[in-house]
């Protein structure tokens, strides 16, 4: 009995020493780093994860839309160059509700491939049912997406935010009450029923297409920081703007052959 009592005391002491360690592991302190944008909520039930990554250091800054040593989110090749900030001046709340009709942008991949980090893309920009212009540019899937935060510092979307951005695009559906081309891809003026959900058997190509589309969506202001923040319950902000879509792939543009 004496031996068992000593064993019980030792076990209790060991447990008391281990509890603070477990608590520290389960509830880590919030990082004290400047330049963070955080999503709403700090607990697991609120899905409170970081939306914007660490700010760029002063010696490693690049202009918005461009990267250091990687690719660029937008490099114009030909055309009017109207694409950057095309949607930025719009009422974004109205756009999220699907209440804005123009402008619209159909993206056609001219040079593409799973092994090609930078694709050549043609954008057909519609300003009415009968008026459109085109421009051609390059976009790179490794280009970091940046913006200036409320502190005036340059912040970069982290991996979680990029994932949410791609998931947001994949989830866009045209409302049945709005004109669309169904499963058929089109350069416009009407979008397909699923603007960014391409019917491609090669997953690597489909994923790269969405990565590139997210870069274009960010450059144009089609997707903004607010679209990546969940509400208090962890649900993403509704996003039903269907004014941008993937029109298709140029048949002779495959560079993986």
Alpha-carbon distance of 206 to 99, in angstroms, equals: 28
pTM of the predicted protein model: 0.74
Q: Which of 23-27, 55-59, 92-96, 124-128 has the highest mean pLDDT?
A: 124-128
Domain spans, the chain = 37-253
Q: Quick one: pLDDT at residue 15?
A: 43
Torsion of CA 93, 82, 215, 40, to 10 degrees: -20
Q: Quick one: pLDDT at residue 154?
A: 83
Render pLDDT for 38-97 as a digit per residue (tens, 0 to 9).
Answer: 332 232 233 333 333 333 333 333 343 343 345 899 999 999 899 999 999 999 999 988
Alpha-carbon distance of 256 to 82, in angstroms, equals: 30
User: Which string of b and e fits 42-72 if b means at least 16 CB within 10 Å?
Assistant: eeeeebbbbbbbebbeeeeebebbbbeeebb
Render pLDDT for 179-226 as a digit per residue (tens, 0 to 9).
Answer: 999 999 999 999 999 999 999 999 999 999 999 999 999 999 999 988
Which residue, chain included where needed, has tokens 């960010």?
218
Residue 1: pLDDT band with limits 50, 70, 90:
low
Write the DSSP symbol of residue 250: -
């Amino acid at each position: 009995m004496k031996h068992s009592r000593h064993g019980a005391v030792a076990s209790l002491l060991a447990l008391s020493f281990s509890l603070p360690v477990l608590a520290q592991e389960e509830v880590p302190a919030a990082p004290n780093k400047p330049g963070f944008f955080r999503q709403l909520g700090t607990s697991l039930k609120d899905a409170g994860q970081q939306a914007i990554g660490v700010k760029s250091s002063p010696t490693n800054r690049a202009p918005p839309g461009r990267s250091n040593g990687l690719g660029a989110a937008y490099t114009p090749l030909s055309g009017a160059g109207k694409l950057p900030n095309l949607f930025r001046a719009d009422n974004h709340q109205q756009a999220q509700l699907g209440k804005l009709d123009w402008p619209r942008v159909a993206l056609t991949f001219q040079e593409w491939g799973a092994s090609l980090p930078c694709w050549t893309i043609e954008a057909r920009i519609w300003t009415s049912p009968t008026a459109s212009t085109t421009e051609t540019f390059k976009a790179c899937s490794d280009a970091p997406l940046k913006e200036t935060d409320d502190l005036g510092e340059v912040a970069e979307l982290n991996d979680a935010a990029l994932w949410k951005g791609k998931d947001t695009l994949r989830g866009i559906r045209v409302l049945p009450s709005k004109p669309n081309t169904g499963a058929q891809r089109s350069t416009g003026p009407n979008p397909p029923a699923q603007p960014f959900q391409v019917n491609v058997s090669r997953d690597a190509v489909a994923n790269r297409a969405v990565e590139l589309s997210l870069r274009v969506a960010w450059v144009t202001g089609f997707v903004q920081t607010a679209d990546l923040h969940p509400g208090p319950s962890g649900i993403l902000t509704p996003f039903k703007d269907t004014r941008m879509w993937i029109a298709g792939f140029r048949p002779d543009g495959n560079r993986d052959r």
